[in-house]
Every structure is written in structure tokens, then in C-alpha cells.
Amino acid sequence: METESLKSLGTLLFWGALFYLMMRFGCGAHMMGGHGGHGSHGGSSGEKDPVCGMAVEPGKAAGASVHAGKTYYFCSPSCRDKFEKEPAKYAAGSARDDHQHGGHHHG
């Protein structure tokens, strides 16, 4: 094989691997049902992660936080950390989404 062909193949493999990792552990994890296996859509508890909108069972939550007397449950530590930086933003957004969009999350 020519050197240029090997460079092209290497570049393709690099971007393919990066795409896979992002879908498996990054942004795509929300769409595909969890952060690397944590959390799932369609939980029976009715609790919802206020950051990403995923269904969370309180007993299996990756974290919890109390804001204004209400306990919020999270599918991952990163969602909990985002919430704790701006709890009013996410708590208000969660209630607004439930009333305006019938409880489903766009994203």
C-alpha cells in the first residue's frame, strides 16, 4: 500500500473510533438510553432527570440533590453536577417541559 493510502485509512479509523466513543459514552448515550449503561428511558417510577430528561428509578439513581424542598434524581454524576451548578434553571425547565410538552424531552 502507498503511504498516502495508509494515512487516509488511519484518518478514517481515527474518526470512526471517535464517533463510536461519543455515541457510546458521550452525547449519544442520552439518545440511546443511558450513560454507558446507567439509566434508561421508560422507567416505571415516574422520576425524571431534570438535566437530560431521562427516566430514573430513585433506588438506582447515580445521584440525588435537594432543591427548594424537592429531591431530584440523576442518571449520572455529570447530570447531578450540572444541576447543582444551576439548580433553579433545571428545576424550572423540568416543570415547564412537563406542562408545555406533555412530559417528553426534546434533545
Which tens digits make up the pLDDT trace of 53-76?
A: 999 988 888 999 999 999 999 999
Q: How far apart are CA 94 and CA 55, in angstroms?
A: 12
Q: Based on the structure, what is the number of domains in the chain? A: 2
Q: Are residues 40 and 27 in the same domain?
A: no
**H helices within 51-104, ranges in order?**
77-85, 87-100
Residues in the chain: 107
Residues 41 and 70 in one domain: yes
Does the model's pTM come out above 0.85?
no
Closest CA to 56 of 35, 71, 41: 41
| Range of weakest confidence among 22-26, 40-44, 45-49, 53-57 | 40-44
Residue type, 64: A
**Same-domain pairing of 25 and 63:** no
Q: pLDDT grade, residue 28 (50/70/90)?
A: low
Tell me how far apart the alpha carbons of residues 63 and 86 are, in angstroms, rounded to a whole number: 16
Please give the backbone phi and psi of residue 34, each rounded to the nearest 5 degrees, phi first.
Answer: 155, 165
